[in-house]
Chains A and B, each alone.
Chain A
Amino acid sequence: MKLARLIAKNLKRRPMRTLLTLLGVASAMLLFVLVESLSAGLDRAMGGTEAARTLVVYRQNRYCPQTSFLPESYVERIRKIPGVVSALPVKVFLNNCRASLDLVTFQGAPAEELLRARPVQVLEGDAARFVRDADAALVGRAFAARKGLRVGDSFRFGNITVKVAGIFSSAEPVEEDVVMTHLEFLQRAGPVNRLGTVTQFEVKIDDAARAKEIAAAIDDQFRTAQEPTDTRAKLAFLESATRDLREILGFARWLGIGCVAVVLALVANTVLMSSQERVREFGVFRTLGFREQHIAFLVLGEALILALGGSALGLGAAQLIVETSHVSIGSEGVSVGFRIVPALALRVALVAGAAGALAGLYPALRSASRPVVAALREA
């Protein structure tokens, strides 16, 4: 503990150097954190509790909601298939299908069924009013935060204008970035009146293990219909929707790893400088009776503090950016937000700690193993 104080004091000896190193580490780790937080957001989007028990019925060979049109009447036939617990017809309207930073997704479904089928909890406002008013909408809390929406606000998008009746949270994270409306309202709202058609059906089944079998049964029903269907587990659906995103993320992760390497080089350089200018001081410490381990601890501690401190700064900056900007990246109607979770913070700390330790290792060993007499003779 006392030695830790000495490390802290020593970092203040060259404030400029410490500051530059911390800022350098912070910039690099900020990037690392942002990339990893997007990855965490993606994991969260994929990890919804209901994903395994939910199937999504889509127009065959369409993979953007804007091109999938299915007759609403299919819902009755789907409900009769054994194993199906419930089926919810959903109309999706969104501003664009490609990867985008500002995805706006409307989902329309019969209001009461919607509230029953989805694991949502209205945090503010009034679910009853949503059910009552034809142009009312429930807004996911992530979307509300992003657009600064409150209960009672009107929200216009294209020629869709809805009144915010409530803000909800959901056990399905991707839903928190969605505006839920009445089905009929959304069917009429687009440039083309699409009354009677929906984008997809969300089907709850009784047994997750039978997902494949039930999906096949649904597709069989409509194999020869004008609009054939393609039924997939929601997880597979999410996976394909976020393909672009995962691709970009995969690339960004390499940059993130590069950044950790930069952190390593930065810290190693600083600690090396710091230990080089203190060779004699360490010699004196040794004559006072300090052991090799003590010296190694001093040097390694410095490396760790620089790496961890800089990372904490980077983490803080990332948190600030995520909190204030509410950015999310959307793709094919699925929105993924940046999420900084405790596990991520822990991982950042571990990565930074490992980088710091690795960076400090050589200078520490060198300083500790230097013969006392030689050290004392250093200028």
Chain B
Amino acid sequence: MISIALDGVTKRYTKGEHVLTPLENVSLEIASGDFFVLLGPSGSGKTTLLNLLAAIDRPDAGRVIVGGTDLAKLPSGRLASWRSEHVGYVFQQANLVPVLTAYENVELPLWLFPMSRAERHRRVSLALEAVGLLERAAHLPRQLSGGQEQRVAIARAIVADPPLIVADEPTGNLDHESADGVLTLLSRLNVERGKTIVMVTHDPRAAARGTRRMQLDKGQLLDLQPAGTP
């Protein structure tokens, strides 16, 4: 179980002479167990916010506290292992390693933990079972459909059992049916396993799965009605 707090976070990028400020003094709290959906037009800073939560980027100002850890205070050498223990990242593209089988792709994060082969096998099997692809374990990514690839990516994100899953447009490249499968999977992870999920999307159908939704626009957050409430 993990909770998230952003406190006055600002992030700037310099691109040539232009300075972009996707996040300006943003504060936000996400409760443990939320399925938090972040909406917004492209370029609004959604991915930036996600990257800050996933500790692959650092804010220029403000604090990002995930599960009680102030990420800014974490030495950069510790960040990587913090990530492997706390965050599962799902991308718009599955980003699987093409030379590894589905099984090995899922196994990848476990290589970082001291763990017996049998234990790894158990966890990978569980994760693949959870996404319904156990029978495809030996397939290479190019032998899978787009939806299947994305489900393997989700399995990879949950295999190390991180409390937080961040998903960046996980259905952006998928057809309706596959997208539904992926969203259902994320909902179940949220409901059945209590994972905190932060998902970025601009697909309203995807957004509808969230327990809490916010809109990011011009660096500012705007609270939206939770799904299902009139």
A–B direct touch, CB within 8 Å, in complex?
A: yes
Q: Which residues of A contact B (CB under 8 A)?
A: 2-3, 6, 9-10, 12-13, 280-281, 284-292, 371-373, 376
With a cutoff of 8 Å between Cβ atoms, the chain B residues found around residue A3 in the complex are 111
Asked whether, in the complex, the Cβ of B81 is within 8 Å of the Cβ of A291, the reply is yes
Q: Chain B, interface size: which category? A: 20 to 34
| A284 touching B80, Cβ below 8 Å | no
The CA of A373 and the CA of B80, in the complex, are separated in Å by: 13
Given A3-B111, A9-B100, A10-B99, A289:B56 Cβ within 8 A: no
Residues of A within 8 A of B56 (CB): 286-287, 372-373, 376
Given contacts A6-B99, A284-B91, A289-B82, list 17 more A-B pairs with CB under 8 A: A6-B97, A9-B99, A13-B99, A281-B95, A281-B97, A284-B95, A284-B97, A285-B108, A286-B80, A287-B56, A287-B87, A288-B89, A288-B109, A288-B156, A289-B80, A289-B109, A291-B81
**Given A9-B100, A281-B97, A284-B91, A289 and B85 contact (CB-CB distance below 8 Å):** yes
Question: When the two chains form their complex, are residues A280 and B95 in contact, meaning their CB atoms are under 8 A apart?
Answer: yes
Q: Which 4 A-B pairs have the closest CB atoms?
A: A289-B84, A372-B56, A9-B99, A291-B80
Residue of B whose beta carbon sits closest to that of A3: B111
Which chain B residues (154-194) contact chain A, with CB distance < 8 Å?
Answer: 156, 160
Whether the pair B81, A289 counts as a contact (CB closer than 8 A) is yes
Least Cβ–Cβ distance between A156 and chain B, in angstroms: 62
- CB-based contact A13/B98 at 8 Å: yes
Residues of B within 8 A of A (CB): 51, 54, 56-57, 77, 80-85, 87, 89, 91, 95, 97-100, 108-109, 111-112, 156, 160
Q: Are B99 and A287 in contact (CB-based, < 8 A)? A: no
CB distance from B23 to the nearest CB of A (A): 13
Min distance, Cβ B154 to any Cβ of chain A, angstroms: 13
Chain B residues, CB < 8 A from A288: 83-84, 89, 108-109, 112, 156
Q: How many angstroms from the CA of A2 to the CA of B105 in the assembled complex?
A: 12
**Which residues from chain A contact B108 at a C-beta distance below 8 Å?**
285, 288
Note all chain B residues with C-beta closer than 8 A to A12. 99
User: How far apart are A304's CB and chain B's nearest CB, in angstroms?
Assistant: 18
In the bound assembly, the distance between CA atoms of A372 and B51 in angstroms comes to 9
CA distance A13 to B100 in the complex (A): 10
11 A-B residue pairs with CB within 8 Å:
A286-B80, A286-B83, A287-B56, A288-B89, A288-B112, A289-B85, A289-B109, A289-B112, A290-B112, A372-B51, A376-B91
Report how far A346 CA is from B57 CA in the complex, Å.
45
Q: Which residues of A contact B87 (CB under 8 A)?
A: 287
> Which of A284, A289, A372, A376 has the largest count of B CB atoms less than 10 A from its CB?
A289
Q: A9 contacts which chain B residues (CB < 8 A)?
A: 99-100
Residues of B within 8 A of A6 (CB): 97, 99-100
- Chain B residues near A287: list those with CB within 8 A: 54, 56, 83, 87, 89
Closest chain-B Cβ to A61's Cβ sits at a distance in Å of 70
